[in-house]
A and B are shown apart, each in its own frame.
Chain A
């Protein structure tokens, strides 16, 4: 087999829409870039790149709303740089209680997905003769089967950790509410890191809970 099928599930998930990023609203389903994040948590080397081919949604899409207190500013990188030059952290602080911002989030509840992906060698990987797709796939499968990961995979946002297992055999059928065709609109595909982290979008069509993910360089996805 030339790909990996991973079953991930969690209590909560937040795949923030770029336009509703401040008062967060989640996409209805997992985004390919979030799926890539899950796989990279399990296994990743600079020689390889994960390409998501298909996403399967298993459970009914349910939303929930929460509010959290966060902060409004970032410490600028230049401030840190000057602190490093000065050799002291004097004045380098972010007082959270002066900077409170309450942000609401509409997130997904009780999610389960099956991520189907394949491995491609990156430019660095292609340059080296010892690297191969099969080697990385095997490593990933072994790690997924054992439950090994570099850091705990998460569903969209770091605080929503997920569980994972390697899927053997047939994928389970989706929930009744997911049957039929559903147009999920323009969904974030991934960032094109070769083009200055430009976002790419694709038209997500869910058929019986299955979303086929196009290639990043597919002419279909436009710009």
Chain B
């Protein structure tokens, strides 16, 4: 299946359930309604917006599709902004008189276009609502605008019409719909060609629908399929002829994609809920499945549900927990067909276009298996705070200052692709994580007060995941331990452990420091151990002496034994440099050993007295 085909199939499924908009209609944001009586006299102006006084959002309702407006004058039908409907807009009085004249001229043309369109549309109609609208337009002058209620608030907003005494809009009336359909049929449809989505012959869509709801794209919508510049056309074709897609298929996929990107409501905190969308840094990930329950399970994988959610999500959470513990899909969720197709599309905005970052389509079984494999690869002891880690949390660890805009752009798509397909993680993931560990310092998060660590749990989990997957694919010979492995003879791993012990030794000897050896020497110790470790060990001897005199011989000996134990596994001299994978193992060793100190179980009691409040 291809992207457009899968989206069109989703539209068909929604249409069969009656949840899809009909051709020619699309969701529109209406702010105000003009109520007219059957003689065409304006009776009232209603404010359709909801929300409080601060943020008034227009009401979303199904209305005739707005024309794709570029720089030309193209009028909508039965609703539009006030410059078209009423001939009034916010006119900038500070520009030159020539410009003001041009603006006024354009305004007049827009209003005239609206009038003309309705005159051709509705002149033959006998419906009282349509006749009322026609009379209103014939009798309306823009000068009468100022006498209306909400005059200033209404400028440049979308307005629609309603007949007095009726609850529905005029565009909802059957006669209005019939008029629109007749107009569309009469319009000279584009040349017929074979559609590459459905395989059937039909009129070719010239302009493809705008996809709104992709953050970062133009607010007026970006197009998934567009040929807006010369360099993109071939064989002399213009616009949509470069890729023949029938109007029906274009409408279907546009609607399906727009529907997938719209929020379905707001949660307890007032934030919109997106049932089919996940943001990964700058990439929008849209996912759907052939059936509703499969889709719900897929969304549980993408956005792990926090522990305190309502009961209907509890079932999903339990299913997820069971699958993580090893229960196969067939047992954990027997009502779901494992062969159901799950589709994941990654979109990235590029001004007026959308580029596809990845497209993966697979069965529910392999989708869940790949995700579980990903979490399994990430697993380390001690476990990070929130398990399984959400995708965005992993990506934030790769960003400078953990800010969303600093996430390396290219990496998001490749990371997601690696998770969904089970292929090795991109090498830049390993490189970027090691880079961030070396470059960052411990920081206090101003909002939550937590310490954001240099060698944080998720970063180490990412390193471990990269190495584990490489090993599983047979690309590196040595496996990577999940928890502390004292018997491991890997030099980098042991050096990482040694570094952690040396750091603790320094802390015990000198008390709380502003800059421990971790802050100063971690980067060079992990990259060029031979240069750094000899001097660190020399200092360690001095620290040991200090501890002997200050605290006692027991603690000093404990440290010395520990160091000797780790050093005994190192054969020969310290390695001159460590390649990237080994630097990953270094961080892993450091992390595992550090946890030994934090758990305080296996360490001497005296260490508690200097309990480092510089480490949390």
Asked if B353 and A22 make an inter-chain contact with CB atoms under 8 angstroms apart, the answer reads: yes
How distant is A58 from chain B, measured CB to nearest CB, in Å? 17
> Given the complex of chains A and B, what is the CA–CA distance between A71 and B356 in angstroms?
19
From B143-151, B193-201, B256-264, B315-323, give the one contacting chain A: B193-201
For the complex, is A131 an interface residue (Cβ under 8 Å from B)? no
In the complex, what residues of A have CB within 8 A of residue B197's CB? 19, 186
The B211-243 residues at the A interface (CB cut-off 8 A) are 224-227, 229-232, 234-235, 242-243
Asked if A186 and B413 make an inter-chain contact with CB atoms under 8 angstroms apart, the answer reads: no
User: With A21-B243, A102-B350 known to touch, is A65 a contact of B414 (CB < 8 Å)?
Assistant: yes
User: With A104-B355, A222-B199 known to touch, is A17 a contact of B2 (CB < 8 Å)?
Assistant: yes
For the complex, is B551 an interface residue (Cβ under 8 Å from A)? no
> Given the complex of chains A and B, what is the CA–CA distance between A60 and B1 in angstroms?
17
In the complex, what residues of A have CB within 8 A of residue B356's CB? 20, 23, 25, 104, 106
The B313-355 residues at the A interface (CB cut-off 8 A) are 348, 350, 353-355
For the complex, is B244 an interface residue (Cβ under 8 Å from A)? yes
Asked if A20 and B201 make an inter-chain contact with CB atoms under 8 angstroms apart, the answer reads: no
Asked if A223 and B226 make an inter-chain contact with CB atoms under 8 angstroms apart, the answer reads: no
In the complex, what residues of A have CB within 8 A of residue B3's CB? 20, 25
In the complex, what residues of A have CB within 8 A of residue B427's CB? none
Find A23's partner among B229, B354, B410 (CB 8 Å cutoff).
B354
User: With A19-B225, A65-B413 known to touch, is A73 a contact of B230 (CB < 8 Å)?
Assistant: yes
How would residues 63 to 104 of chain A score, 1 for a CB under 8 Å from any chain B CB and 0 otherwise?
A: 111010011111010000000000000000000000001111
In the complex, what residues of B have CB within 8 A of residue A70's CB? 231
User: With A104-B348, A104-B355 known to touch, is A19 a contact of B231 (CB < 8 Å)?
Assistant: no
Interface of B is mostly: mixed
Asked if B229 and A101 make an inter-chain contact with CB atoms under 8 angstroms apart, the answer reads: yes
In the complex, what residues of A have CB within 8 A of residue B375's CB? none
From A2-10, A114-122, A134-142, A194-202, give the one contacting chain B: A194-202
In the complex, what residues of B have CB within 8 A of residue A184's CB? 2
In the complex, what residues of A have CB within 8 A of residue B423's CB? 62
Find B231's partner among A64, A71, A199, A223 (CB 8 Å cutoff).
A71
For the complex, is A185 an interface residue (Cβ under 8 Å from B)? yes
User: With A21-B242, A104-B348 known to touch, is A222 a contact of B194 (CB < 8 Å)?
Assistant: yes
How distant is A140 from chain B, measured CB to nearest CB, in Å? 27
How distant is A67 from chain B, measured CB to nearest CB, in Å? 7
Asked if B410 and A106 make an inter-chain contact with CB atoms under 8 angstroms apart, the answer reads: no
In the complex, what residues of B have CB within 8 A of residue A198's CB? 193
Asked if A199 and B244 make an inter-chain contact with CB atoms under 8 angstroms apart, the answer reads: yes
Asked if B227 and A22 make an inter-chain contact with CB atoms under 8 angstroms apart, the answer reads: yes
For the complex, is B358 an interface residue (Cβ under 8 Å from A)? yes
For the complex, is A152 an interface residue (Cβ under 8 Å from B)? no
For the complex, is A54 an interface residue (Cβ under 8 Å from B)? no
For the complex, is B498 an interface residue (Cβ under 8 Å from A)? no
The A145-200 residues at the B interface (CB cut-off 8 A) are 183-186, 188, 191, 197-200
In the complex, what residues of A have CB within 8 A of residue B225's CB? 19-20, 22
Nearest opposing residue in chain A for B413, CB measure: A65
Sort chain A's interface into a size bin. 35 or more
For the complex, is A203 an interface residue (Cβ under 8 Å from B)? yes
> Given the complex of chains A and B, what is the CA–CA distance between A59 and B547 in angstroms?
62
Asked if B244 and A186 make an inter-chain contact with CB atoms under 8 angstroms apart, the answer reads: no
> Given the complex of chains A and B, what is the CA–CA distance between A64 and B414 in angstroms?
7
> Given the complex of chains A and B, what is the CA–CA distance between A18 and B2 in angstroms?
12
In the complex, what residues of B have CB within 8 A of residue A73's CB? 229-231
> Given the complex of chains A and B, what is the CA–CA distance between A188 and B354 in angstroms?
22
The B344-400 residues at the A interface (CB cut-off 8 A) are 348, 350, 353-359
Find B2's partner among A22, A65, A67, A185 (CB 8 Å cutoff).
A185
> Given the complex of chains A and B, what is the CA–CA distance between A62 and B358 in angstroms?
11
How distant is A177 from chain B, measured CB to nearest CB, in Å? 10
In the complex, what residues of A have CB within 8 A of residue B196's CB? 18-19, 186, 188, 199, 201
How would residues 466 to 507 of chain B score, 1 for a CB under 8 Å from any chain A CB and 0 otherwise?
A: 000000000000000000000000000000000000000000
In the complex, what residues of A have CB within 8 A of residue B200's CB? 222
In the complex, what residues of B have CB within 8 A of residue A185's CB? 1-2, 5
In the complex, what residues of B have CB within 8 A of residue A76's CB? 230
How distant is B197 from chain A, measured CB to nearest CB, in Å? 7
For the complex, is B163 an interface residue (Cβ under 8 Å from A)? no
Find B358's partner among A19, A65, A183 (CB 8 Å cutoff).
A65
How distant is A17 from chain B, measured CB to nearest CB, in Å? 7
In the complex, what residues of B have CB within 8 A of residue A62's CB? 421, 423
> Given the complex of chains A and B, what is the CA–CA distance between A70 and B231 in angstroms?
9
Asked if B357 and A223 make an inter-chain contact with CB atoms under 8 angstroms apart, the answer reads: no
Nearest opposing residue in chain B for A18, CB measure: B243
How would residues 172 to 198 of chain B score, 1 for a CB under 8 Å from any chain A CB and 0 otherwise?
A: 000000000000000000000110111
Asked if A223 and B201 make an inter-chain contact with CB atoms under 8 angstroms apart, the answer reads: yes
Nearest opposing residue in chain A for B234, CB measure: A21
> Which of the listed residues A19, A64, A191 has the most CB atoms from chain B within 10 Å of its own CB?
A19
User: With A106-B359, A186-B2 known to touch, is A72 a contact of B243 (CB < 8 Å)?
Assistant: no
In the complex, what residues of A have CB within 8 A of residue B85's CB? none
How distant is A200 from chain B, measured CB to nearest CB, in Å? 8
User: With A74-B231, A186-B199 known to touch, is A63 a contact of B358 (CB < 8 Å)?
Assistant: yes
Nearest opposing residue in chain B for A106, CB measure: B356
Nearest opposing residue in chain B for A75, CB measure: B230
Asked if A201 and B229 make an inter-chain contact with CB atoms under 8 angstroms apart, the answer reads: no
> Given the complex of chains A and B, what is the CA–CA distance between A207 and B615 in angstroms?
59
Nearest opposing residue in chain A for B249, CB measure: A19
How distant is B251 from chain A, measured CB to nearest CB, in Å? 15
In the complex, what residues of A have CB within 8 A of residue B410's CB? 65, 67
> Given the complex of chains A and B, what is the CA–CA distance between A72 and B231 in angstroms?
5
> Which of the listed residues A20, A22, A62 has the most CB atoms from chain B within 10 Å of its own CB?
A22
For the complex, is B245 an interface residue (Cβ under 8 Å from A)? yes
How distant is B205 from chain A, measured CB to nearest CB, in Å? 10
> Which of the listed residues B2, B234, B235, B414 has the most CB atoms from chain A within 10 Å of its own CB?
B2
Asked if A23 and B355 make an inter-chain contact with CB atoms under 8 angstroms apart, the answer reads: yes
Find B201's partner among A63, A186, A203, A222 (CB 8 Å cutoff).
A222
> Given the complex of chains A and B, what is the CA–CA distance between A63 and B353 in angstroms?
21
For the complex, is B417 an interface residue (Cβ under 8 Å from A)? yes
The B2-48 residues at the A interface (CB cut-off 8 A) are 2-5
How distant is A33 from chain B, measured CB to nearest CB, in Å? 13
> Given the complex of chains A and B, what is the CA–CA distance between A203 and B350 in angstroms?
31
> Which of the listed residues A21, A73, A183, A191 has the most CB atoms from chain B within 10 Å of its own CB?
A21
Asked if A65 and B357 make an inter-chain contact with CB atoms under 8 angstroms apart, the answer reads: yes
> Given the complex of chains A and B, what is the CA–CA distance between A183 and B6 in angstroms?
12
> Which 8 residue pairs spanning A and B have beta carbons closest together?
A23-B355, A104-B355, A223-B194, A19-B243, A18-B243, A72-B229, A185-B2, A73-B230
A sample of 10 more A-B contacts (CB under 8 A), given A20-B224, A25-B3, A65-B417, is: A18-B242, A63-B359, A64-B414, A72-B229, A103-B355, A106-B357, A185-B1, A186-B197, A199-B194, A223-B194
**Can you name 6 A-B residue pairings with CB atoms under 8 Å?**
A63-B359, A65-B414, A72-B232, A184-B2, A186-B198, A199-B196
B binding-site residues for A, Cβ under 8 Å? 1-5, 193-194, 196-201, 224-227, 229-232, 234-235, 242-245, 348, 350, 353-359, 410, 413-414, 417, 421, 423
